[in-house]
Amino acid sequence: MPLASAVYQRVRGQPVLAALLESVPMRVRLYDGRPQMLPFRLWRLAHIWKARPELRAESEAALAAYCGGDVVDIGAFEGWYSVLLGSKSRPGDTLLSIEPDAAAFPELQATLAAAARAFSGRTFQPVQLPAGNGHPVVPSRPPGGHPQFAAAAEGDGTSTIAVDDRPPGVHPADVEELLQRNGYTVRVLEESDVDVRQLWTARE
């Protein structure tokens, strides 16, 4: 629906008008393919991800592998995966979205608030926490894209918390070995100069 997206681009800088538009119910198809009425904010996210083939393929792979349970989304940006997986989650599940970028975090908070209203009984929790390798980073914002983070010069940037180091004495390779030993296989969804996106699923 190009018209709705065009209207949003014109009013997103006007908080009152943007809030009104974001609350308008729209027809959305999520995990089960059935249409449901969700706020425009959630429709817009779904529209963006479905419109780009590489993002759609990534979403479908993650959704197919998810059978309910708690979720941690690192680098959540506006919170698409909490919306997508939230639609397949179960009451009592917690969906934790980590986004350190100060410019993106208010959008994430608004998305999760809308998701909490749409999928009752779940906990949608935003966290403004830089996750990385423990070294400081600085953000960059490419036009129309997800914020990116790069190593900061000495004395600059924001320190990150190494998620891999949170379990004391456990190395990422240990986790991978544990998954493989328990019948999980890995598929690389995307690999670039700055990251590797993997999907671990149980062998059938």
Q: pTM for the full model?
A: 0.69
The domains of the chain are located at: 167-204
**Which pLDDT band, with edges at 50, 70 and 90, does 118 fall under?**
confident
* Cα 60 → chain centroid: 14
Measured between alpha carbons, how far is 95 from 186 in angstroms, rounded to an integer? 22
Could you read off the pLDDT of 144-203 as tens digits, one per residue? Answer: 666 666 677 665 766 666 665 557 566 767 778 888 888 888 888 777 665 677 788 777
Contact 18, 39 (CB under 8 A): no
Nearest to 1 by CA among 35, 33, 46, 38: 46
